[in-house]
C-alpha cells in the first residue's frame, strides 16, 4: 500500500463580519498563511456561501447589523458539520461565551485581536482537521486493506507506468488508469494521491459497479434527509468529504448513463447538487478514474458519453497485466506470502516445484488472483514450505497439452481453451471477442471454472 505522506494543509475559511476593516485584516492574515478565504458582511451571504462549498473554519461576528451571529452557527454546521466556528466580538462575557459553545462554536475571540491570536486559533484548527482527515484516510485504507503489494517492479513497462504516475502526481490533471481487472489500478491511484500536494487531505474510493444508479448518485453527490425512501439522515457525499483531496472512481466504464452528464458537469466545473436539493455546490477535488473496459468501444455502442471520455482521459496510464511482467511474479508472490503468512512464523517460503508453477502460470486474474492463490496455500500448508499440492489443480504440470480428439469432455476442452485465450489476450473484451461470446458469458465461464 502506498504510504501516506504529510504535507502542507490549507484551510477553507469563511469570515462573517459587518466591519470592512475586520474582514480585510482577517483575510490578509489568513491568506498570508496560505489559507483560502471567503469574506462576507451578513448572515444571508454566509449561509449562501456555506451551501455552495465546504469550510473548515468560520470566523463569525457576534453582532451582524440586526442579526445575531450566534443564530448563524447551526446553519453553518448543518451544511458542514466539521466546520469549527470561532465567534468574534467586542463585547465578550463568560455568559456569552458559554451560550456560543452550546450553539456549537469551537472558540471565542475578543476584539481587538492581533494576527498572532488569529494564527494561534487557525493553527489549532488546522492541526485538528489534519488529524481528522488523516484518520479518515487510515480508516478507508484499513477497510480496503488486503496485503496490497508495493509498486516496485523489475518490468520496464511497469516502471514506465509508475514513473509517469509520479510525474502526474505533481500536477492536478484528471488521470485515467487503464488495465485488466486485478492489475493494481486502485493501488496506483492511492500512490498518486500520496505523492501529490493533496496527500494530507482525504482520499476516497467509489466503486461504480457496486451500487444502483440512485445509491451511486447519493454516494457521489450526497443527499438531503427525505430525498428518497430510506434517506433518514443527511449524507454530504464522497465529493464533499474529499474536499481538498482526491476522489477515485473505480471501473468508471460501469457508470450508469443517467449519471454521466452529472459527473461530466462536476469534472468540467467542479459543481454539483445533492439529491433532493437545488443548491449548487462547489468542491476542490482531484479526480482519478480507472477502467478495465474499452471505453472507445462503449462510446460506439452508446454506453458511454464521448465528451465524458475526453474529460477524464486528460492523461492516461496503462498498467500491464501480470503475464507481461514475468520478472515480477515470484517477487510479488514472496512479498504476499510474507504478509499473508505473518501468523505462521514457521512458514519459510515456496519449494522449487511451487516456484516454477507460479512463475509459469498465465495469471488471467493478475495480482488479485495471485493474492487469492497465496492466501489459499497459506491456509492449506501445514509444513515449512508451500508445495505444488497447496496450489490449485490448474497449476499442476501436464506432460502433454490436450489436443482435439483426446479423451476429454467438452467442458474440459472449453476450460482449457478459455484459459489459453485469456492468457494471450490484452483484455477481457479482447478475449470475449476471440471466443465469440459476450462479456457477461465470459464472466460466468470464469466463475464456473474458477479462472
Q: Which pLDDT tens digit goes with each residue over 138-147?
A: 555 544 444 5
At residue 136, the pLDDT reads 61
Q: Average the pLDDT over 222-226 and give the result.
A: 83
Lowest mean pLDDT among 143-157, 202-216, 370-384: 143-157
Is the pLDDT at 366 greater than 70? The verdict is yes
DSSP state of 106: -
At residue 186, the pLDDT reads 92
Is the pLDDT at 177 greater than 90? The verdict is yes
26, 39 Cβ separation under 8 angstroms: yes
Lowest mean pLDDT among 30-44, 80-94, 159-173: 80-94
- Of the chain, the end-to-end C-alpha distance in Å amounts to 25
Q: pLDDT per residue over 371-382, tens digit each?
A: 999 999 999 999
Q: Count Cβ neighbours within 10 Å for each residue of 319-357 and write b for 16 or more, e otherwise.
A: bbbbbebeebbeebbeebbebbbeeeeebeebbebbbeb
Is the pLDDT at 25 greater than 80? The verdict is yes
Is the pLDDT at 3 greater than 60? The verdict is no
Q: What percent of the chain clears pLDDT 90, i.e. is strictly above it?
A: 41
Overall residue count recorded for the chain in this entry = 451
At residue 310, the pLDDT reads 94
Confidence of residue 34 (pLDDT cuts 50, 70, 90): confident
- Please tell me which residue, 135 or 241, carries the higher pLDDT value: 241
Instruction: Estimate the share of the chain in helix, then strand, then coil, as percent rounded to the nearest 5.
Output: 50, 15, 35
At residue 313, the pLDDT reads 93
At residue 403, the pLDDT reads 61
Phi, psi for residue 105 in degrees, rounded to 5: -70, 150
Q: Average the pLDDT over 255-267 and give the result.
A: 94
At residue 264, the pLDDT reads 96
Is the pLDDT at 312 greater than 90? The verdict is yes
123, 131 Cβ separation under 8 angstroms: no
Q: Average the pLDDT over 129-150 and give the result.
A: 59
Q: Where are the alpha helices (DSSP H) in 249-365?
A: 260-269, 295-300, 306-312, 326-340, 352-360
At residue 286, the pLDDT reads 95
Is the pLDDT at 2 greater than 60? The verdict is no
At residue 133, the pLDDT reads 66
- Please tell me which residue, 63 or 398, carries the higher pLDDT value: 63
At residue 142, the pLDDT reads 47
Give the chain's domains with CATH numbers.
Answer: 12-131 (3.40.50.2300), 148-318 (3.40.50.300), 325-397 (1.10.8.60), 401-451 (1.10.10)
SS3 57: strand
Q: Average the pLDDT over 289-298 and give the result.
A: 94
Q: pLDDT per residue over 345-354, tens digit each?
A: 888 899 998 9
Say how far apart CA 69 and CA 105 lie, in whole Å. 11
Q: Average the pLDDT over 336-356 and give the result.
A: 89
Lowest mean pLDDT among 75-79, 149-153, 196-200, 242-246: 149-153
Which range among 96-110, 349-363, 417-431 has the greatest average pLDDT? Answer: 349-363
Tell me the pLDDT of the chain averaged across its residues: 85
Confidence of residue 94 (pLDDT cuts 50, 70, 90): low
pTM to 2 decimal places: 0.64
DSSP string across 309-332: HHHH-SEEEEPPPGGG-HHHHHHH
Q: pLDDT per residue over 381-427, tens digit each?
A: 999 999 999 998 888 765 445 666 667 788 888 888 888 787 666 67
Cell of 450: 474458477
Amino acid at each position: 500500500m502506498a504510504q501516506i505522506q504529510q504535507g502542507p494543509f490549507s484551510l477553507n475559511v469563511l469570515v462573517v463580519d459587518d466591519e470592512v476593516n475586520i474582514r480585510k485584516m482577517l483575510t490578509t492574515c489568513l491568506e498570508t498563511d496560505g489559507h483560502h478565504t471567503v469574506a462576507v458582511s451578513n448572515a444571508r451571504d454566509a449561509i449562501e456561501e456555506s451551501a455552495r462549498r465546504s469550510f473548515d473554519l468560520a470566523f463569525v461576528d457576534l453582532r451582524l447589523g440586526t442579526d445575531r451571529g450566534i443564530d448563524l452557527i447551526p446553519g453553518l454546521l448543518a451544511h458542514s458539520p466539521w466546520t469549527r466556528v470561532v465567534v468574534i466580538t467586542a463585547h465578550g462575557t463568560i455568559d456569552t461565551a458559554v451560550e456560543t459553545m452550546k450553539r456549537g462554536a469551537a472558540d471565542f475571540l475578543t476584539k481587538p485581536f492581533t494576527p498572532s491570536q488569529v494564527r494561534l486559533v487557525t493553527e489549532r484548527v488546522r492541526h485538528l482537521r489534519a488529524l481528522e482527515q488523516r484518520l479518515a484516510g487510515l480508516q478507508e485504507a484499513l477497510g480496503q486493506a488486503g496485503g496490497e503489494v508495493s509498486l516496485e517492479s523489475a518490468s520496464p513497462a511497469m516502471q514506465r507506468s509508475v514513473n509517469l504516475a509520479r510525474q502526474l502526481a505533481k500536477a492536478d490533471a484528471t488521470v485515467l488508469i487503464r488495465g485488466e481487472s486485478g492489475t493494481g489500478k486502485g493501488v496506483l491511484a492511492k500512490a498518486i494521491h500520496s505523492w501529490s500536494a493533496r496527500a494530507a487531505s482525504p482520499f476516497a474510493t467509489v466503486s461504480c459497479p457496486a451500487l444502483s444508479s440512485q445509491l451511486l448518485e447519493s454516494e457521489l453527490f450526497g443527499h438531503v434527509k427525505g430525498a428518497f425512501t430510506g434517506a433518514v439522515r443527511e449524507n454530504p457525499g464522497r465529493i464533499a468529504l474529499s474536499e481538498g483531496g482526491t476522489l477515485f472512481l473505480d471501473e468508471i466504464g460501469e457508470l450508469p448513463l443517467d449519471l454521466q452528464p452529472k459527473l461530466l458537469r462536476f469534472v468540467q466545473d467542479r459543481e454539483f447538487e445533492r439529491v433532493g436539493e437545488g443548491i449548487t455546490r462547489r468542491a476542490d477535488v482531484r479526480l482519478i478514474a480507472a477502467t478495465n473496459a474499452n471505453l472507445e468501444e462503449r462510446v460506439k455502442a452508446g454506453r458511454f458519453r464521448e465528451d465524458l471520455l475526453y474529460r477524464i482521459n486528460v492523461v492516461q496510464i496503462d498498467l500491464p497485466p501480470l503475464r507481461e511482467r514475468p520478472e515480477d511474479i515470484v517477487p510479488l508472490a514472496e512479498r504476499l506470502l510474507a504478509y499473508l503468512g505473518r501468523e505462521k512464523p514457521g512458514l519459510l517460503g515456496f519449494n522449487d516445484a511451487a516456484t516454477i508453477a507460479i512463475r509459469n502460470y498465465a495469471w488471467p486474474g493478475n495480482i488479485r488472483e495471485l493474492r487469492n492463490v497465496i492466501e489459499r496455500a497459506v491456509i492449506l500448508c501445514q509444513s515449512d514450505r508451500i508445495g505444488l499440492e497447496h496450489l490449485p489443480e490448474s497449476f499442476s504440470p501436464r506432460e502433454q497439452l490436450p489436443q482435439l480428439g483426446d479423451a476429454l469432455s467438452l467442458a474440459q476442452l472449453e476450460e482449457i481453451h478459455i484459459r489459453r485465450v485469456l492468457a494471450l489476450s490484452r483484455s477481457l473484451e479482447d478475449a470475449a471477442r476471440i471466443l465469440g461470446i459476450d462479456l457477461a458469458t465470459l464472466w460466468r465461464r470464469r466463475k464456473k471454472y474458477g479462472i
